[in-house]
């Protein structure tokens, strides 16, 4: 049975009518029309679907709408703007990280929450924070450089 949900996404409230068990990812992409996050594995193993819910990174592919409540959702599009990008978005461009770009959503959203809470992280701490994310293009070294650069910018 469908229910009405009010989703606060990137500061805008959207009304969605759906089953309470429907994954948040489907509402974000199919009902609201966002281009990110992405469907990757559907099992919370790759990270392409990562968004922030009340500041914490979550895998939206396994988060049911009923678990969102009145939480604030931030997607990659809400992290920064073209005029004022988040330091991670700037660092990704400067380090020329993107290949296909499909996984960037998960890496940046996870790293943004990590860097918000951890100033001046070591490389080991960065690697640990990003554990479990997947990039099939093999840009892991460039991703680490970008996260280090962003950490220095946020420093």
Whether 75 and 136 map to the same domain: the answer is no
Predicted confidence (pLDDT) per residue in 61-88, tens digit = 999 999 999 999 999 999 999 999 999 9
Q: Which of 23, 50, 79 is the last residue of a domain?
A: 79
Whether 52 and 16 map to the same domain: the answer is yes
Average pLDDT, the chain: 96
Whether 97 and 75 map to the same domain: the answer is no
State the CATH number of the domain containing residue 40.
Answer: 3.10.20.30
**Given this model, what pLDDT does residue 42 score?**
95
Whether 134 and 92 map to the same domain: the answer is yes
- Look up the domain containing 116 and give its range: 87-154
Q: Which of 97-101, 127-131, 139-143, 150-154 is predicted least confidently?
A: 97-101
Distances (CA, A) of 101 to 96, 107, 119, 133: 11, 10, 26, 13
**Given this model, what pLDDT does residue 48 score?**
96
**Given this model, what pLDDT does residue 84 score?**
95
Q: Which of 79, 97, 130 is the last residue of a domain?
A: 79
Whether 75 and 15 map to the same domain: the answer is yes
Domain count, the chain: 2
Does 37 sit behind a cis peptide bond, omega within 30 degrees of 0 on the bond before it?
Answer: yes
Instruction: Average the pLDDT over 134-143 and give the result.
Output: 91
Predicted confidence (pLDDT) per residue in 91-131, tens digit = 999 999 988 888 999 999 999 999 999 999 999 999 999 99
Query: pTM (2 decimals)?
Result: 0.94
- The pLDDT of residue 1 is above 90: no
């Amino acid at each position: 049975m469908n229910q009405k949900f009010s989703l606060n996404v990137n500061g805008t409230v959207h009304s969605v009518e759906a089953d309470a068990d429907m994954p948040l990812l489907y509402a974000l992409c199919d009902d609201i029309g966002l281009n990110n996050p992405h469907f990757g594995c559907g099992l919370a193993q790759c990270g392409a679907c990562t968004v922030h819910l009340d500041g914490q990174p979550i895998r939206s592919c396994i988060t049911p709408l009923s678990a969102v409540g009145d939480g604030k959702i931030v997607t990659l599009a809400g992290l920064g703007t073209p005029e004022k990008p988040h330091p991670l978005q700037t660092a990704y461009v400067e380090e020329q990280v993107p290949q296909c770009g499909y996984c960037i959503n998960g890496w940046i959203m996870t790293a943004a929450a990590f860097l918000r809470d951890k100033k001046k992280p070591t490389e080991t701490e960065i690697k640990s924070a990003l554990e479990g994310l997947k990039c099939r293009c093999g840009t892991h070294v460039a991703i680490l450089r970008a996260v280090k650069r962003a950490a220095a910018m946020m420093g």
